[in-house]
Structure 1
Amino acid sequence: MSAEVTFALPSPYGPRTATVRYHREGSGSPLLLLHGIGHHWQAWGPVLPALAARHEVVAVDLPGFGTSPALPDGVPYGLEAAVPTVGAFCAALGIERPHVAGNSLGGLLALGLGRAGLARSVTALSPAGFWTEPERRYAFAVLAGMRLGARTLPRSAVERLARSAAGRALLVSSIYARPGRRSPEGAIGETRALREATGFAPTLAAGRSVRFTGDVPGVPVTIAWGTRDRLLVRRQGLRALHEIPGARLVRLPGCGHVPMSDDPELVGRVILDGCAAAA
């Protein structure tokens, strides 16, 4: 089921509101899924059946991404504002302390929610925020290049490229280790999402000063990294473990930066195991 909710932003940004669109399915304890920068909730499609068999899954289009409108003028996109905003979204849906899984930007937000006491468990797939400055500059340059390509390519060219595995590799190989496994519809949809993301530029700007430091106490944390992640290289997982020494660090063999399509069975199992750790 796809739906939307409008809710009051937390202090100090109220009484303004935000509108978030999301997909909800399954039953059981709630599991919130948060995508990366420039993406949309459909990134989780390959793992949704396995997750929804055990949990009530809520996959979100973050503000300014997918089909969710941008935040109101003057509301920042940085981590300090994003965490309480996602918390207010959960409260509007009547969800209290869900399990949270996130990828890239979504992984950083998941860790922030865990540290704020707003998550029951956290699974972060290649989370942002554990980079050195050269690594951050490289990743941001790749992301900016992907955005430029998505905005420059005519839609007819995107549709034509998406029809073949080689064409999909040209479109999405920066984030997938196995781009041929992405469906043509998926490649077209995420290229469009990247092109139209009103939150892309302010989120990228806010991320220039982001470093995740400090522990996430009292919450089971799983950090998972693809061995073929070319955007945020896997040694950043060791830095994450240094900051969060109680976390479980998991390798995702053969997976890229967005691993849900590269190996849905493995990623689904890692997320479910992370949720089970909260029991």
Structure 2
Amino acid sequence: MTLHHIRRGSGSPLLLVHGIGGSWRSWNTVLDQLAAEHEVIAVDLPGHGDSAPLTGKHTVGTLADALTAFLTEQGLLGIDAVGSSMGARLVLELARRGGGIVGAVVSLDPGGFWEGWEVPVFYHSVDLSQRLVKVLQPVMPALAGSAVGRTVLLPQFSARPWAVPARQAQEEMYSFGHTPVFGELLDALAHGEKQQGAPQGSLPPLVIGWGRQDRVCLPRQAARAVAAFPDARLYWFANCGHFPQWDQPAETARLILAAVSRQPFHDRDIAGAASVPTPRPVPRAAVAAAVVGLVAGALWLLRRR
């Protein structure tokens, strides 16, 4: 299976799997720290970044098949793996399948554990966000380049959107708006096959990380993820939204490196005093701009429909 990917660093290999609408660049905020100790292989999933779409359907199952084929082709079976969002669900699925596809796993805010009203809220909120991002592509560099613009664009995904690096925001919003399989995958995530769990004692080392302020995969869903994967150790990121690598990059890198080292660690050592700042208040002008922008965008889309 041909997937576009990059390799950085040296040492034991480490696979990075991005979320829906992302690319390998979703990991830029932690790439250097991880590559200092590992050979990092960051992939573009099918239909994302520079990887071609699959010839058939795009679901969690078919993406997991594609990743398995890629690892087999590259001689990387048994690799330690890290995933974010949809990618976090994918590495859980690879671990669940067994057979030595992956080694130690770190799953950051995995999707797939919605229930009841959470399903339509997830689906429609993310769908609206992606539609708005597509419409705003002509002015995206200017929006992503300012703290106010990032506060308008990213409040659903970040607890501190104004602090997300401008380049990271711009690249992510470009990929988010140019992923041809986005709609198909979003429908599969929300309405497709439920994520199956794994019996206790059947998995490689597994850590599930969750942002306390996640507005995409609500924190209440962490208990369901751990119930489905009872071998997992749960780690909470304070002052953090859906993407820990955005809001707490140093803490995220420490967690990943500790988890794949297979050595005991304490949560307090991963958190570190410096990586859990008191959130600065969002500027009032930014809040007003975010509200006006989202309402105007929603009305515009409704009129087009």
The two structures have a TM-score, normalised by structure 1, of 0.88
Instruction: Report Cα offsets for 1:242-279 as digits up to 9, x if no partner.
Output: 11112100000011101101111111111112212289
Which of residues 59, 68, 87 in structure 1 aligns to 2:51?
68
The residue aligned with 1:33 is: 16
Aligned mates of 1:80, 1:62 — CA distance in 2:
13
For the residue of structure 2 that corresponds to 1:133, the secondary structure is coil
In the aligned structure 2, how far is the partner of 1:37 from the partner of 1:154?
18
**Per-residue CA distance 1:177-208 (angstroms, 9 max, x = gap):** 12222222222211111111012111112221
Q: Secondary structure at the match of 2:105?
A: strand
Q: Provide the rounded CA distance (Å) in 2 between the counterparts of 1:102 and 1:154.
A: 27
Root mean square deviation of aligned Cα: 1.6
Q: Which whole-Å CA distance do the structure 1 matches of 2:19 and 2:118 have between them?
A: 17
Among residues 77, 83, 93, which one is paired with 1:96 in the alignment? 77
Task: Note if contact 2:94-2:102 (Cα within 8 Å) is conserved in structure 1.
Answer: yes
1:227 correspondence with 2:208: no
In structure 2, how many angstroms separate the alpha carbons of the residues matched to 1:276 and 1:23?
22
The answer on 1:273 being equivalent to 2:253 is no
Shift of 1:67: 2.1
SS of equivalent to 1:20: coil
Superposed displacement of residue 60, structure 1: 1.0
TM normalised by structure 2 equals 0.81
Larger displacement relative to structure 2 (76-85 or 245-254): 76-85
Match of 2:131 among 135, 139, 148: 148
Task: Tell whether the 8 Å contact from 1:219 to 1:278 is kept in structure 2 after alignment.
Answer: no
Residue among 206, 212, 219 paired with 2:195 = 212
Greater displacement, 103-112 / 48-57: 48-57
Match of 2:108 in 1: 125
Cα separation, 1, equivalents of 2:16 and 2:228 = 23
State how far apart, in whole Å, the 2-side matches of 1:227 and 1:218 are. Answer: 25
Counterpart selection for 2:177 from 167, 191, 195: 195
Change (3 A) 1:137 1:145: same
Higher-helix-fraction structure: 2
Aligned to 1:16: none
**2:62, 2:46 → 1: CA distance?**
12
User: What is the CA-CA distance between 1:122 and the residue it aligns to?
Assistant: 1.0
In structure 1, C-alpha distance between the alignment counterparts of 2:137 and 2:16, rounded to whole Å: 31
Offset at 1:79?
2.1
Residue equivalent to 2:281: none
Q: Deviations over 1:52-73 (max 9, x none)?
A: 112111111111112222112x
Classify the secondary structure of the residue corresponding to 2:172.
Answer: helix
> What is the correspondence of 1:106-125 to structure 2 with a 5 Å cutoff?
106-117=87-98, 118-125=101-108
Q: Secondary structure at the match of 1:81?
A: helix
SS where residue 48 of structure 1 aligns? helix
Is the 8 Å Cα contact of residues 78 and 206 (structure 1) preserved in structure 2?
yes
SS in 1 for 2:3: strand
Unaligned runs of 5+ in 1: 1-6, 8-18
Alpha-carbon separation, structure 2, partners of 1:125 and 1:159:
27
Matched letter for residue 119 of structure 1: V
The residue type paired with residue 139 of structure 1 is F
Code of the residue aligned with 1:130 in structure 2: it is F
Letter in 2 for 1:91: T
Are 1:51 and 1:272, in contact at CA under 8 Å, matched by a contact in 2? yes
SS of aligned partner of 1:131: coil
Q: Is the CA contact 2:12–2:39 (under 8 Å) kept in the aligned structure 1?
A: yes
* Distance in structure 2 (CA, Å) of the matches to 1:218 and 1:35: 22
The reply on whether 1:242 has 2:227 as its aligned counterpart is yes
Residues 57-98 of structure 1, C-alpha deviations (whole Å, 9 max, x = no match): 1111111112222112xx221122221210111122221211
Q: Which residue of 1 aligns with 2:280?
A: none
Q: Structure 1 residue 154: deviation in Å?
A: 4.2
What does residue 24 of structure 1 align with?
7
The answer to whether the Cα contact below 8 Å between 2:241 and 2:247 also exists between their aligned partners in 1 is yes
Residues 209 and 234 of structure 2 are in contact (CA less than 8 Å); yes or no, is this contact kept in structure 1? yes
> Which residue does 1:252 correspond to in 2?
237
- Indicate if the aligned counterparts of 2:13 and 2:80 stay in contact, CA closer than 8 A: yes
Query: If you compute each CA radius of gyration, which structure gives the higher value, 1 or 2?
Result: 2
Residues 154 and 102 (structure 1), Cα distance of their counterparts in 2 relative to 1, 3 Å cut = closer
| CA drift at 1:173 | 2.0
